[in-house]
Amino acid sequence: MIWRDKKVWVIGASSGIGQAIAIELNKAGAFVILSARSGDKLQKTKSLLAQPQHSDIISLDLSNASSIAEAITTYQQRHQKIDVLIQSGGISQRALAVDTSMETTRQIFESNFFGQIPISLAAVEMMKSQGHGKLVVITSFTGKWGFYLRSSYAASKHALHGYYESLRMEVENFGVEIQLVTPGFIATEISKNAVDGNGLATGEMDDNQAQGISAEACAIQIKTGIEKGKWEFGAGGKEKLGLWIHRHFPQFFQKLLRKQNAR
């Protein structure tokens, strides 16, 4: 895949994996459209780009329907095409299921699932009219299996797999590709920003997260996976072996999971 002059809309570009992907693809020649809730943080991302003149900023809040609708309209007014949409926004969770309020579960689903859908469908319509395009959805290992303290988060990520695998079947004949990425332990602040049972950020860094590969290394793996056209692929360090074990030895894998530190 040649990235030069491709229009790539990155949702969640203010930090972590989304920011790193935007930087990596812009370095490869892509025109990146940066979206997230914080305009100031998006400006910071833009300042880190190799070619900041090949970028645009469209702020949006994935938990706010009117903000999403306004962002879609703004994109369509400013840009005549979309080659790649990368969905990397959302929040994580660190709380027991019994301690997690329904309001918090809905908060997680709004950001991780429902907020994505109108953006993806708008992108699909543009891609169908073009005859080509890619949707790249960043899910999680917990989109494949559940884990301690992540019941609602895992459910939201599982939902992404079900939705986009179905959507893939409906749009593939129009030249639209859908790729699902399952990152493992990446050294970002996702665990610090994860919410507790009351929907408040925990502010705590997980040991596993702190010891993960860098967001920059993850972005390179994702770029390579996109270029290879893989329908689904992992990103991370040695923990990617878990995807293979889970697929071939599910009962054994569940025993391994129960021995892992929840944080």
Question: What is the pTM for the complete model shown?
Answer: 0.96
* CB of 237 closer than 8 Å to CB of 212: yes
* CB of 163 closer than 8 Å to CB of 113: yes
| CA dist., res. 64 & res. 155, Å (int) | 20
pLDDT at 54: 98
> pLDDT-derived band of residue 9, with 50, 70 and 90 as boundaries?
very high
Q: Which residue has the higher pLDDT, 126 or 80?
A: 126
pLDDT at 207: 86
Active site residue 153: yes
User: What are the helix (H) ranges across 28-101?
Assistant: 39-47, 65-78
By C-alpha distance, which of 76, 63, 91, 90 is closest to 33? 76
Residue 213, token pair as written in the block: 């590969």
DSSP annotation of 81: -
Q: What is the pLDDT of residues 136-150, one digit of tens each?
A: 999 999 999 999 999
Domains and CATH numbers, the chain: 7-257 (3.40.50.720)
Q: What is the pLDDT of residues 52-75, one digit of tens each?
A: 999 999 999 999 999 999 999 999
* CB of 243 closer than 8 Å to CB of 182: yes
Task: Output b/e per residue, 211-220; b: 16+ Cβ within 10 A.
Answer: ebbebebbbe
pLDDT at 205: 86
Q: Where are the beta strands (DSSP E) in 170-249?
A: 176-183, 232-235
pLDDT at 198: 97
For the chain, give the mean pLDDT.
96
Element spanning 136, H or E = strand 133-138
Which position among 148, 153, 163, 164 bears the catalytic label?
Answer: 153
| CA dist., res. 111 & res. 89, Å (int) | 7
The CA–CA distances, whole Å, from 30 to 21, 52, 91 equal: 11, 11, 26
